[in-house]
Amino acid sequence: MVAMGEKPFRAKQVYEWLWQKAAWDFDSMTNLSKELRAKLRAQFVLQPLTIDMEQRSSDGTVKVRFKTHDGHMVEGVLIPTENRWTACVSSQVGCSLNCKFCATGYLKRQRNLRPDEIFDQVILLNQLAEKYYESHLSNIVFMGMGEPLLNYKNVLAGIDRLTAEDGLNMSPKRITVSTAGIAKMIRKLGEDQVKFNLALSLHATTDQQRNELMPINEQNNLEVLVDALNDFYRNTKGRITFEYILFDGINESIDDAKRLVDLCRRVPAKINIIEYNPIAEATFSKSKHMQRDRFITYLEDHGVTATVRKSRGKDIDAACGQLANK
């Protein structure tokens, strides 16, 4: 601003427009003079996400396909429940991890999302929450497309803008980052003493099972992950959640439940049981209700907190594991 012949305080005004008022063009910055706005337009460019397509589910879930300035597509989801409105956001264009049950895993990873693109997803989903439900977002989950910890720097920078007093000022305790299990980066989260919640997509209790479902396990096996998660907890005292999709005939036995209890005795974690949502690229089936209830009862009888996450938006391919720009 000084180099442009302006007062230094103008910089703070522009910053507030970008990170607190979510202005995506200079003409919206109405407390700047027309001359200054013209100078800004001449020297700088803003590259906001735009909504390319919006779909509404019969259960009220809203899926959005966002378009980046360079033409890539990523998806986000607004998930309304009785007393919370959650934004499920993406961290990468595509994904490189090839998890066999996840539609995004069958896409090629194109690039990482920038901090402002992560921020924009939240802004746009919050606008939809206000439009359809007259409510603000209450929670953010990084459970969309991509592996957040393989875009570590940008994800943390995006969360910083979402939680900072001079940003959106959201509580980090209302943000959950889900990882397929990158042990080195889980340790770094602990070293950086992050304040948000961490979820591990577990889905299996033996390395053989997990290798088949999630190839990343071959370099980040269960023992390595247990050590990393305990490092994270020692450094942050942050809540850890094991996400566990129950697959028919694969990971739903009482022996699996016993091993899951053992893991929860080694790591301070609660369990989120997830219903499998079918995708065209795979032939898995969800666990039958009787077997699911038996599995959960065993966990609860052995002192493990287990909740069932209801699938939302299945009819528009917006549920867990279904995001593939359809």
Q: Write out the two tokens for 293.
A: 């209830």
Q: Given this model, what pLDDT does residue 222 score?
A: 97
Q: Given this model, what pLDDT does residue 105 score?
A: 81
Rounded-to-integer distance, Cα 66 and Cα 75, Å? 6
Q: Write out the two tokens for 241.
A: 């959640």
> Phi and psi for 53 in degrees, rounded to 5?
-155, 145
Domain 50-316 coded CATH 3.30.930.10: no
Q: Is 281 a catalytic residue?
A: no
Rounded-to-integer distance, Cα 291 and Cα 294, Å? 5
Angle between helices 289-301 and 254-266 (to 10 degrees): 40
Rounded-to-integer distance, Cα 184 and Cα 167, Å? 29
Query: Would you kindly state where each structural domain of the chain is located, as residue ranges?
Result: 9-43, 50-316
Rounded-to-integer distance, Cα 170 and Cα 187, Å? 24
Q: Given this model, what pLDDT does residue 294 score?
A: 95
Judge contact between 252 and 246, C-beta under 8 A: yes
The residue from 75, 117, 252, 275 that is catalytic is 75
60-67: which pairs have CB atoms within 8 A and are 24 or more residues apart? Answer: 60/132, 61/312, 61/313, 61/316, 61/318, 62/125, 62/128, 62/132, 62/313, 62/318, 63/313, 63/316, 63/317, 63/318, 63/323, 64/124, 64/125, 64/128, 65/325, 66/117, 66/120, 66/121, 66/124
Q: Given this model, what pLDDT does residue 325 score?
A: 56
222-225: which pairs have CB atoms within 8 A and are 24 or more residues apart? Answer: 222/263, 224/183, 225/181, 225/183, 225/186, 225/200
Q: Is 75 a catalytic residue?
A: yes
The residue from 95, 102, 264, 320 that is catalytic is 320
Adjacent-strand bridge partners of 73: 67
Q: How far is CA 304 from CA 118, 248, 263, 264, 298, in A?
A: 34, 22, 10, 7, 9
Q: How far is CA 222 from CA 91, 180, 227, in A?
A: 24, 11, 9
Among all chains, which residue has been given the structure tokens 């934004």? 87
Rounded-to-integer distance, Cα 193 and Cα 232, Å? 8
Q: Given this model, what pLDDT does residue 278 score?
A: 81
Adjacent-strand bridge partners of 86: 79, 139
List average pLDDT for each run of 10 residues in the chain, which is 326 residues long.
94 95 93 95 95 92 95 95 92 93 87 97 96 95 96 98 94 97 98 97 96 95 98 94 94 96 96 87 88 94 88 60 55
DSSP string, 215-242: GGGGTS-HHHHHHHHHHHHHHH---EEE
Q: How far is CA 182 from CA 26, 38, 80, 147, in A?
A: 40, 46, 30, 9
Q: Given this model, what pLDDT does residue 189 score?
A: 98
**Which helix (H) or strand (E) segment is 63 a member of?**
strand 62-67
Q: Given this model, what pLDDT does residue 311 score?
A: 65
